[in-house]
Structure 1
Amino acid sequence: MPTQLNYRSQVLSELGATPEEITELLAYNQNNFNHPKLPPNITFPLASEPHVTEWKRYHAQAQSLGTFTTLRSALVQLQFPIRLGISETENYRAATRQGNPADSMVEATGLELEQPESLQLIIHPTLAGEVPILIAGCRADFIVLVQALSKRNEPVSIPDSMGAIAISGFNNWQRIKKYRTEWETHQEQPVTETEWKAEFQRLIPQKHLYQDFFIILSQGNYSAVNAAELGLDEAEWLLLCLTIRLEHECCHYFTKRVFGSMRNNILDELIADYQGIVAANHNYYRADWFLRFVGLEAFPNYRQGGRLENYCGNPPLSDGAFRILQVLVKQAAQNLEQFNISHIEELKSLENKARLIMFLTSCTLEELATKTGVLLEQMWQRYTM
């Protein structure tokens, strides 16, 4: 709305942004979370999505067969190696796009993991419903799992800064085959291939019946920050990193499912890291942790290689606009820390944890970054009335 736009422009102007930089940042910081479509009686946690039922079956099988063995038979991509050009072969396309059995395909020599016995599958409860989580046993296994399940088994470079990935819209051919079996049992006559193809076309728009959402996590330093930098024991820090990474990705799942948005934007990262940090730190938020994660621990100096540069927009922000963004991020993190301290008891309930995500996703970065944080407090009070 115009008054909000004017306010945001004023905040940016007071920080020294030029008219051109204000235009850039207003566009970059535009809030894309779709709040108006939320039903008025929404309650949390939400019911789990349909695909979780199948993943719970995988989890049960994995208790006796092992996680990797179970998933290799369920997810066809795990039956192929990582190899340049494999995604363009006829057999690979037939297996992954048409659901043809890969058993006799010459290319299907299987995905190789360094520590297959260490691969874990958990079904994690979140405010947006349960989520299947794969935890790789080592960095090398995380990379090949990401390449197989999100890069069509191609040896695409995976940046060192990536420690987790959310896989959305994954076509699960095992679920499609189960759908076909159930559909055929309800037909009065034997089904021809032509009839199945017609039914398959009717199935395609119903993505909830065959597309999955799951998360792959690595084990290691979060945002390339080591224990010594935070004055922590290494083993303790690695456990905290896994929690931060897990809850960060689950927050992205919440915004995707509830608001239809999961972006490569610093506001999304600020909110998701907030959720990860409070989960790892007894409900307390640490602005200094977040600022180190994004490369702003020595503000006003920015550490090259920090995570913040991964969220510069497309096209990227100009150097001047990026410097203003750093100020916004620093002030927003500090305001969030003070807000968290002031409401620590209130924010422990599931209802208010969900309400806080909904509140933060209704704000813009400029509003979160007001110098005193007074506006943030006022907006929260109005939001919870």
Structure 2
Amino acid sequence: MNNKAHDFLRGLTNNEEVIQEVLEYTQNKFVKPSFSKFSKEEKYIETWEAYNEESKLLGVFKTLKKYIVQLQFPVKAGISSTEAYKNVTLRGKENTTNSNLLLEDENALWLDIYESKLIGKVPVLIVSNVNDFKTLVCAFSNKNEPADLPKSMGAAFIKGINNWDRISKLKKAWQEEKTAISWNQFFKQEILPNRDLYQDKLIILSTKPYSGVVHEVLNISESLWQEASVDIRKEHECAHLFTLNYYGQMAKNIHDELIADYAGIIRVLGKFDKNWMLHFLGLESYPNYRNGGRFQNYMNDNCSSEAFKCLVTITKKAIDTIQEFDSELGNVTSEEDRLSRIKSICEVDILSMASDQGKEILSDVYRKNRIVNEAIL
């Protein structure tokens, strides 16, 4: 156990069980880079670039329904357990049903191949209709089963879409080679273990105000805030993909959200603004927490009320530290500078950031990161 972390938490609570709960929750996952997994050249991007081109003629929704079979089924309770659904989504058989996914406004979709300096290219599906956003998230991430989404949720990162269009192209290539091995054997031995051959990533974005925060409280015009909301969401989700690729980790945790929100804010503003982040998380009136803010979305289901209060304080202190760290560095001057800042916030655990030495710890890690980042960019 880290004695400094334990002593820090004793300043917040004398309950040893709560201390252990918080220590477990705040354990940093972004310590050792997973260089073998880090790549900006994803195999599925070429396929989605073709989808994007086709969508300019056919329309986004009609194009995607041709290739992504989940969009051929409605969002309906119990549908994922039906044989028809399993045959199409899990076994790659042709859809012979009359089922269909209906949207309220299928013309209000935009497909973009977004290029982030953090991760390279990634497909982004932008959805302006709130109900259609929910429908598409359920279709892609919840096996077409209905789900209650937090009102503050405006983005989803889908990391494992089985793309039978890509698999069919692999089968065609296998047929042309005329190998002795059967397709079933080839599929099990050569394709199934290599998920990058058939699984895609996708970011789905809503155009509603980021984190449900209205433009007036941030002193920004409605049109600029709508544009900024989309841009923040893009970089926020790309930051999650960066931690997955670079550190081999991504989780539903407040540390992850500090990293991702920071990446989005500095992309839009060129510098950090803690007022924005506090509003995003529902901590703008600290020590009071605004119920419905995003902070509660990242707590464990069994999080105790006392641990929740401790984590509110820890998060607020960490955000204050990030502001001091970022202000000392000034505006972002380059992509290398930006990546070094983001990596530093990854590699310093949230308890250390919340401590009195937080800024110095972040600054020290930042200086080390500046030395090694040329190999990535």
| Deviation digits for residues 220-270 of structure 1 (CA, Å, limit 9, x no counterpart) | 011111112222222221111111111111100100111111111000000
In the aligned structure 1, how far is the partner of 2:35 from the partner of 2:338?
Answer: 17
| Deviation digits for residues 101-124 of structure 1 (CA, Å, limit 9, x no counterpart) | 11x323x3x211122112111011
Secondary structure of 1:113's aligned partner: coil
Matched residue, 2:151: 160
Greater displacement, 206-215 / 88-97? 88-97
**TM-score in terms of structure 2 length:** 0.92
Cα shift at 1:54: 0.7
Q: Match of 2:65, as an amino acid?
A: R
Alignment counterpart, residue 13 of structure 1, candidates 10, 13, 16: 10
RMSD of aligned residue pairs (Cα, Å): 2.0
| Deviation digits for residues 129-170 of structure 1 (CA, Å, limit 9, x no counterpart) | 211100113111111111211122222222322211111111
| Deviation digits for residues 172-227 of structure 1 (CA, Å, limit 9, x no counterpart) | 011111000001100157x8xxx211111111101110011111111101111111
In the aligned structure 2, how far is the partner of 1:113 from the partner of 1:327?
Answer: 42
Cα shift at 1:376: 2.7
CA contact 2:34–2:246 (8 Å) conserved in 1? no
Q: 1:234 to 1:188 in 2, by over 3 A?
A: closer
- Aligned runs of 1:170-319 on 2, under 5 Å? 170-187=161-178, 195-202=182-189, 203-281=191-269, 283-316=270-303, 318-319=304-305
Q: 1:267 to 1:69 in 2, by over 3 A?
A: same
Q: 1:374 to 1:188 in 2, by over 3 A?
A: closer
Cα shift at 1:382: 4.6
Matched residue, 1:337: 323
Alignment counterpart, residue 136 of structure 2, candidates 137, 141, 145: 145
Q: Match of 2:129, as an amino acid?
A: C
In the aligned structure 2, how far is the partner of 1:52 from the partner of 1:19?
Answer: 49
Cα shift at 1:34: 4.8
In the aligned structure 1, how far is the partner of 2:108 from the partner of 2:128?
Answer: 5
CA contact 2:282–2:291 (8 Å) conserved in 1? yes
In the aligned structure 2, how far is the partner of 1:245 from the partner of 1:275?
Answer: 10
Secondary structure of 1:33's aligned partner: coil
Q: Match of 2:255, as an amino acid?
A: L
Q: 1:81 to 1:70 in 2, by over 3 A?
A: same
Secondary structure of 2:156's aligned partner: strand
CA contact 1:286–1:337 (8 Å) conserved in 2? yes
Q: 1:181 to 1:291 in 2, by over 3 A?
A: same
CA contact 1:21–1:321 (8 Å) conserved in 2? yes
Matched residue, 2:361: 375
Matched residue, 2:115: 125
Q: Match of 1:247, as an amino acid?
A: E
Matched residue, 1:105: 97
CA contact 2:33–2:248 (8 Å) conserved in 1? no
In the aligned structure 2, how far is the partner of 1:119 from the partner of 1:147?
Answer: 16
CA contact 1:83–1:153 (8 Å) conserved in 2? yes
CA contact 2:128–2:208 (8 Å) conserved in 1? no
Q: 1:370 to 1:201 in 2, by over 3 A?
A: same
Cα shift at 1:301: 1.2
Alignment counterpart, residue 366 of structure 1, candidates 337, 351, 357: 351
**TM-score in terms of structure 1 length:** 0.90
Matched residue, 1:26: 23
Gaps of 5+ in 2: 372-377
CA contact 1:17–1:321 (8 Å) conserved in 2? no
- Structure 1 residue 69 corresponds to structure 2 residue 62: yes
Greater displacement, 230-239 / 272-281? 230-239
Report percent identity of matched pairs: 37
CA contact 1:168–1:212 (8 Å) conserved in 2? yes
CA contact 1:167–1:213 (8 Å) conserved in 2? yes
Gaps of 5+ in 1: none
CA contact 1:17–1:320 (8 Å) conserved in 2? no
Alignment counterpart, residue 321 of structure 1, candidates 291, 297, 307: 307
| Deviation digits for residues 85-104 of structure 1 (CA, Å, limit 9, x no counterpart) | 222222111011111111x3
| Deviation digits for residues 294-320 of structure 1 (CA, Å, limit 9, x no counterpart) | 11111111112221111222532x222
In the aligned structure 2, how far is the partner of 1:61 from the partner of 1:14?
Answer: 59
